Amino acid sequence: MASNIAKRSLFRAIGTRGYAQLSPVSGTTSYDVKTSLLSNKLVVVAAENESPIARVSIVFRAGARNETAENVGVTHVLRVAAGLSTRNKSQFAIVRNIQQVGANLIATADRETISYTLEGTRQAVEQALPFLAEVATQQVFKPWEVVELSDRLKLELAVRPLQVRAVDLLHKAAFRTGLGNSLFVPKFQIGKISSETLQHYVASNFVSGRSAVVGLGLDEAKVKQLAQSLSLSDNDGVNNASPYKGGEIRSDKGGDFAFVAIAGEGAPVTNAKEAVAAAVLQRALGVGPQIKWSTSDNGILSKAIAGASSEPFASSAINANYSDTGLVGVLLAAPARSAGKLVEGAVKVLKSGSVSDADVARGKAQLKASVLLELESGSRAVQLLGTQAVLTGAAISPCELASAIDSVTTGDVRNALQKAGKKLTIAAVGNLSTVPYADELK
């Protein structure tokens, strides 16, 4: 049993197990995606990618943005609690039976969604489907099992990299509440989120109108059969608005380095044209070297700030898309002495609103190659399809996504950059002795 937490641009990152190395797992990205809507408004997506590894995901629109002041941190606890005893199965039975057939069950969570994904050979997945349904929809959260999660939660808080903390604070400054909620439970809440709190959150958010079932490499009839068998409340739940507001948060922790995240308003998933343009903008700005072992990055950002520091530093564009808004910007990691100049240079890039045809062409090529390479095996594909299905009610294939990337123009990317540069948000963690405040940046 495994669980992780990840958010990368339009895609979710999940781990793979060693058993996948026993046979080729590469499939094809040239496949049709079939989407249907059940009478209870549950979205069902099925696709055949010709991979020997099948994946089925049950996704709920129940991410951290739905937390309130009373239950803040509950989604982190839910993710860690994946695989605990359910109404019909014990924790031991779940783990033993899934491992016995050589499958893997992964729980992921972000600000929008919580998903439970089963992966393995096609035969193994079919055998383990009842356990996926149990884990995702039949939770009971026995108090003595919930109490035992505290050590795991403390460990995950302790090992958070500062760059992850910077992006977390970036959301807090940009949205304050809703999407501003952290992906991690606050320390003061550890041990205080009860079984009743977890049950109430699941009952309110794990409902048919806020869920989707995605099958990749599994017959459409079997995916529908699983979806129809789920015991979910028949309602739509409540959607919480979380408009972009902008702001600044600084967390001075000393040390030798500063981690600074700078971003403006991005694009929502529901606006496909803007979302793809924002993804191309991210690549045009630069996400690091594209050649293994290389230190060269031809992005707009790295070229603009290369001369600002004589010491080594790292920079990467960031892009996060949500149902109603998003973030586009940059993340810097630099020695404290150089951080100030680098931040000033990055802000100038974001406020310039300038991007060339050559930069857009390079960004489109890099994004398309990355999308098609990552989606071949299916682990990224099931996450992307699940996010699309639960947030928009439909899903498109990788080939359709590649075509959407091709249709992006320089004007679309320039508009995305100008939108982001209108009102910037800054979050910084580490040694901030040279990092300028937001009102000092022009």
% of the chain exceeding 90 in pLDDT? 76
> 219 by DSSP, 3-state: which?
coil
Query: Residue 143 is encoded by which pair of tokens?
Result: 């108090």
pLDDT in tens, 175-212: 999 999 999 999 999 999 999 999 999 999 999 999 99
At 8, list the tokens.
Answer: 């990368």
Tens-digit pLDDT profile for residues 404-423: 999 999 999 999 999 999 99
- pLDDT on residue 74: 97
Backbone angles phi, psi at 45, to 5 degrees: -125, 130
Q: Could you tell me which of 157, 185, 154 has the C-alpha nearest to residue 78?
A: 185
Residue 31 has pLDDT above 90, yes or no: no
* Residue 342 structure tokens: 């680098």
Instruction: Inform me whether the pLDDT recorded for 294 exceeds 80.
Output: no
Average pLDDT score over the chain: 90
Span 225-241, pLDDT tens digits: 999 999 998 877 778 88
For residue 108, list its beta bridge partners.
115
Please, are residues 8 and 167 in contact by the beta-carbon 8 Å criterion? Answer: no
Per-residue confidence (pLDDT) for residue 124, from 0 to 100: 95
pLDDT at 64 over 60: yes
User: Which of the pair, 22 or 238, is modelled with greater confidence?
Assistant: 238
Residue count of the chain: 442
Residue 437 DSSP code: P
Q: What is the mean pLDDT of residues 153-177?
A: 96
d(CA 289, CA 296): 5
pLDDT for res 26: 56
pLDDT of residue 84: 95
For range 14-22, the mean pLDDT? 31
| Residue 72, both tokens | 């803040």
What is the average per-residue pLDDT within 384-393?
92
The pLDDT of 387-393, averaged and rounded, is 93
The alpha-helical segments, DSSP class H, found in 101-149 are 122-137, 143-147
101's CB contacts (< 8 A; 6+ apart) are: 120, 123, 124, 127, 128
**pLDDT greater than 90 at residue 297:** no
Query: CA dist 368 to 8, 168, 414, Å?
Result: 15, 27, 19
The 10s digit of each residue's pLDDT in 82-124 is 999 999 999 999 999 999 999 999 999 999 999 999 999 999 9
Q: In one letter, which amino acid is 123?
A: Q
What global pTM score does this model have? 0.90
Residues 264, 327 contacting (CB under 8 angstroms): yes
Pick 256 or 291 by higher pLDDT: 256
Is the predicted pLDDT of residue 158 greater than 50, yes or no?
yes
Q: What is the pLDDT of residue 397?
A: 83
